[in-house]
Amino acid sequence: MPSTNQAHGKTRQGGGADVSSDKASGQILSLVASGRARSRSLLTDLSGLSRATVHQKLGNLIDAGLIRETEETLPSGGRPTRTLDINRDFAVVLCADIGEQHIRVALTDLRPTILGEISETFDILRGPTAVLEWIEEQFEVLLASAGKTAGDVIGIGIGLPAPVDYANGRVVGPSVLVGWDNFEIREHLEQRFGVPVYAENDVNLLALSDHRLRRSTVSEMVFVKIGTGIGSGIITEGRLYRGAQGAAGDIGHIQFAREPAPLCRCGKVGCVEARAAGWAIARELRDEGIEAQNARDVTNLVRAGQPLAIHLVRESGRILGEVMTSLVSILNPEMIVIGGTLATLDDHLLAGVRELVYKRSLPLATRELEIVISPPDPDAGIVGAAFLVVEEQMKEGNVESVIARHSLRSA
């Protein structure tokens, strides 16, 4: 049956709207989905489209049920303002955050708010087939619990702790995901659920989540994760930047010409990760007879006042500072955001980062640069995956298929 949506205080009937997949509809939908355009005037300004075109295309998208326009009264009083937003109930998103020792799956709406989740310790060395089959089973559980079916799903987002060829949806080694190289992740999940699947590097998803939730007005940003491993996600002009093959931001495997050159998990020597990541610090602590296996153990030791752990974390900050100096010179970001397990040790970590960045970068590049810590957020990987799916599906060229699937579901 046709869907109904509130707009301008009236009920509009959906299902028969003329929504084209042309640039205008995709542009409008993308601006609203990203939160950049919450009003018609902003939509006109940011899109560069005429008011008449915005009025027509926006009306069609409201009729189709993808966008809602509601009236909000400001706390200060005065006339209510009309606010645009994605209709969060139009569809749902399935997401999976695959870690080195755990997997978390969730169901979200389009805003995205988590509607249900399942988390479990899982040995990813069992291989991609076992991992993806478990994820598929949990997706079915989540859908059933929410009273939804595969027909309600707009897309699937998967976060992976490895380099990902985004265009093809495949892990490219070397990585901690042994046996995943070039495995057909998208095809495996698409066969089961019949919707688009987006596989992405986990740090890119953390960058996307942090930007959209906390810093959407920042145009140029670098998110650096330092935990068990090290990586970064780059936001430029408000969008995730992946580079030619999806390898942009892989700072953990920049090599330093400095002795000693420790062995990295990737098989090379002298990588940043082999000097400054949680697993590398834990290795050095074990060499000195101090028990530590990962970044969380390192964090606990620092908080307990263990001198060597404190020294190694501070040195890690200085190493990261050297790397970020290069990032600042090349990218000139407005903001560097540091997240991950070791980022919770900001007093010890951040001092070294700031010292090197402000000392070695040109004044013009650092004049307005902010270096901040991202608060711990266990939902960040899931939320980033959901944002990715929603924004990809709202792009020009995808609108028509999204509406068509919804119309079939509602028929």
Q: Domain 92-195+380-410: what homologous superfamily?
A: ATPase, nucleotide binding domain (3.30.420.40)
The answer, yes or no, to whether residue 100 has pLDDT greater than 90, is no
The token duo for 48 is 């560069």
Q: What are phi and psi of 49, to 5 degrees?
A: -85, 160
Task: Locate the domains of the chain by residue range.
Answer: 4-86, 92-195+380-410, 215-373
- Give first-to-last CA distance, the chain, whole Å: 5
CB 113 within 8 A of CB 379: no
CATH architecture of 4-86: Orthogonal Bundle (1.10)
CB 62 within 8 A of CB 77: no
For 215-373, CATH number out of 3.30.420.40, 1.10.40.30, 3.30.70.270, 3.40.50.970 equals 3.30.420.40
Q: DSSP letter string over 307-347?
A: HHHHHHHHHHHHHHHHHHHHHHHHH--SEEEEESGGGGGHH
The answer, yes or no, to whether residue 132 has pLDDT greater than 90, is yes
- CA 301 remoteness from chain centre: 30
Q: With 0-12 CB in 10 A as exposed, 13-18 as middle and 19+ as buried, what is 347?
A: exposed
Do domains 92-195+380-410 and 215-373 share one topology? The answer is yes
Rg for the chain, CA atoms, rounded: 23
Between CA 352 and CA 356 the distance in angstroms is 6
10 band by pLDDT with thresholds 50, 70 and 90: very low
CB 196 within 8 A of CB 392: yes
Task: Provide the pairing of β-strand 10-13 with 67-72.
Answer: unpaired
410 band by pLDDT with thresholds 50, 70 and 90: low
Alpha-carbon distances, residue 397 vs 164, 328, 394, 400, 407 (angstroms): 24, 35, 8, 7, 17
Top pLDDT among 2 and 251 is at 251
For the stretch 178-221, pLDDT in tens is 889 989 999 999 999 999 999 999 999 999 999 999 998 899 99
Q: Residue 123: CA atoms inside 13 Å, Cβ hemisphere, count?
A: 2
Type of residue numbered 324: M
- CA 409 remoteness from chain centre: 28
CB 358 within 8 A of CB 313: no
Residue 172 falls in which region: left (phi positive, over 0), alpha (psi -120 to 50) or beta = beta
pTM score of the predicted model? 0.88
Spatial CA neighbour of 110 closest among 392, 377, 378: 392
The answer, yes or no, to whether residue 176 has pLDDT greater than 60, is yes
Q: Find where tokens 């060499």 sit.
A: 287
Between CA 67 and CA 236 the distance in angstroms is 26
Looking at the DSSP assignment, which residues form a beta bridge with residue 371? 336
The token duo for 260 is 């000693």
Mean pLDDT taken over the chain: 88
Number of H helices, E strands in the chain: 14, 16
Buried b (16+ CB within 10 A) or exposed e, 233-251: bbbeebebbbeeebebbbb
For the stretch 319-355, pLDDT in tens is 999 999 999 999 999 999 999 999 999 889 988 899 8
